[in-house]
Amino acid sequence: MEQHSLTLSPSAAARVAAIASKQGKPAILRLAVEGGGCSGFQYKFGLADAPEGDDSVTETDGVRLVVDAVSLDLVAGCVVDFVESLGGAAFKVENPNAAAGCGCGSSFSV
């Protein structure tokens, strides 16, 4: 695997496919990293209509995960998962690059 590889777990792929189907959109999940959050950076998820020119694209079970070039440096090697717990259901990023995280799991620092 190259160092910039990203992985979309089968459970996350299934969830993206279900959401996209309900909204009549292609099964493409965009992961972006923005400044902010309680630890410095925060993850942002959304459905995309198509990959853009500088996007990194990975595919699991026919569902694509796209990440822009700037965000990719911060999430290289990550696994995007979908977890359901008593606290609710959410996409979760397992980021080996994060030096610190936060309790809510939606922000990190490097």
Write out the chain's pLDDT in tens, 110 residues: 344 588 999 999 999 999 999 999 999 999 999 887 777 888 999 999 999 999 999 999 999 999 999 999 889 899 999 999 888 888 989 888 777 766 666 666 66
In the chain, what are the domain boundaries? 7-104
Contact 81, 65 (CB under 8 A): no
β-bridge mates for residue 109, sequence order: 100
Confidence (pTM): 0.84
Contact 97, 41 (CB under 8 A): no
The pairing of beta strand 100-101 with beta strand 88-94 = unpaired
At the topology level of CATH, where does 7-104 sit? Hypothetical Protein Aq_1857; Chain: A; (2.60.300)
21's tokens? 């189907």
pLDDT score, position 2: 43
pLDDT score, position 57: 95
